[in-house]
A = this chain, B = another copy of it.
Amino acid sequence: TVDGGKLWADILETARFGATPKGGIRRLTLTEEDRQVRDWFVRTCEALGCVVTFDSMGNQFARRAGTNPSLPPITMGSHLDTQPTGGKFDGIVGVLGGLAVLRALHESGRETRHPVELINWTNEEGSRFAPAMLSSGVFAGVFTEEEALAKTDRDGVRFEDALVGIGYRGAERCGDHPVAAYFELHIEQGPILEAERKTIGVVTGVQGMRWYEVTVIGRDGHAGATPMALRADALVGTAKLIEAVQSIALKHAPGAVGTVGLLENRPNSRNVVPGEVFFSVDLRDPDDAVIVRMEEAFRATAAQVASESGLEITIELVWDSPAVRFDPTCIDAVRRAADSFAYPARDIVSGAGHDAVYMAGVTPTTMIFIPCAGGVSHNEEESAETDDVTAGANVLLRAVLDADER
């Protein structure tokens, strides 16, 4: 089993990099705070006898040698970047839980046939650079490295420049890295495990998700002197579309979700009728066909708003991540591991995207969930129990050893 105390101490220690006054973390990918936690990752893994490298997308790999040099590594991983107002657990539990596994192997002198490798993926959150899971996506061949490097944040900074800027653009081409299996430990980020008092979620797959960028163009006008009838108010049109996303999600399927998370209003002045709004839409459901129907409904509403208001509305699909089912053998290994510790467990489908989504395309993959308080995530108040974090890492350890023995 892992050392739960050391794991918890690692969580608290790394939470300093980008700590916010409200007890959360602001550690956007490829920022100075991200560099700090990456440097910590290198130091800490090297102290456990691992060789640490990084690839051309900045993904970090900490490798513990196996007894059979010809076998590819069993991998574990997640991410250390956070949302602008993120918590101390999202992604972090997966990386530091993997570190606890490496530590347990190291301190017990346990040998494995395969190398065991821990991965810290770059830009999982997709908050600074859209879309999410960008670098595991390049690793898996879903995106080209060229398109990923050319992504820009909302200030126009290129991904490549930010990556070079923190010194983590590596020589190994992203994806040129054989793997035998991939396991990812994560907090659920939803309310189910806590509500049902389960310690372990045996993740069978991840729901489908699509991201859109919407631009609404009207006409700047004077807030005092432009009669209501002569306005083309881009923000009023946007308000109708925000409400449409909400009602479409509520209507189309019991579990469907829809969110407008990012919005930029222009020129954003109190006495100017807004002439342009840019916003994002996030639509998800476990059934990809439901997402298609939600998109159709949203496009129909947008066309109607445009024709009624004289606004010009463009909708661009910028990310499409279809629903994924994980590898049955890996799922089974997690289920058996949970049983072996007698942890209460249930099968679960992930509502959030994870690097495991793209890894599932190139190697046998699955995930392990643990509960988080109130199901709250992407929030500075995100919280998880020490015992659950330890339990998750124990299951990760056992599943990795199981995969090594197969």
Contact = CB atoms under 8 A, between A and B. Distances in A.
Interface of A: 83-85, 125-127, 130, 132, 188-191, 207, 209, 211, 219-228, 230, 233, 235-236, 238-240, 242-243, 246, 249-250, 255-263, 265-275, 280, 282, 284, 350-353, 375-380
A352 B222 contact: yes
Given A261-B272, A263-B265, A282-B271, A378 B222 contact: yes
Given A235-B260, A352-B225, A127 B271 contact: yes
Given A226-B257, A260-B235, A352-B224, A83 B267 contact: yes
Contacts of A275: 85, 379
Given A189-B222, A225-B375, A226-B377, 13 more contacts: A83-B269, A85-B220, A189-B224, A190-B222, A219-B376, A220-B378, A224-B284, A225-B352, A226-B351, A228-B258, A259-B272, A262-B269, A271-B378
B270 A227 contact: no
Nearest to A242: B239
Contacts of A265: 262-263
Given A191-B227, A223-B259, A270 B250 contact: no
A267 to B, nearest CB: 4
Contacts of A239: 238-240, 242-243, 246
User: What secondary structure prevails in chain A residues at the interface with B?
Assistant: loop
Copies per complex of this chain? 2
18 contacts: A83-B220, A125-B271, A127-B270, A188-B225, A189-B224, A220-B380, A221-B376, A224-B282, A224-B351, A225-B377, A226-B351, A228-B256, A228-B258, A240-B243, A260-B274, A261-B270, A269-B378, A272-B378
Given A224-B207, A228-B250, A378-B221, A83 B127 contact: no
A263 B282 CA distance: 20
B189 A220 contact: no
Contacts of A259: 223, 233, 271-273
Contacts of A130: 270
In this complex, the member of A84, A189, A235, A238 whose beta carbon has the largest number of chain B beta carbons within 10 angstroms is A235
Given A246-B233, A378-B271, A378-B272, A85 B266 contact: yes
In this complex, the member of A221, A223, A261, A375 whose beta carbon has the largest number of chain B beta carbons within 10 angstroms is A223
A190 B225 contact: yes
Question: Which 6 pairs across A and B sit closest by C-beta, in order of nearness?
Answer: A225-B351, A223-B259, A190-B225, A239-B242, A189-B225, A220-B379
A375 B222 CA distance: 9
Contact of A263 (B189, B226, B268, B352): B268
A402 B132 CA distance: 69
Contact of A226 (B84, B223, B375): B375
Contacts of A126: 270-271
A64 to B, nearest CB: 32
Contacts of A238: 239, 242
Contacts of A188: 225
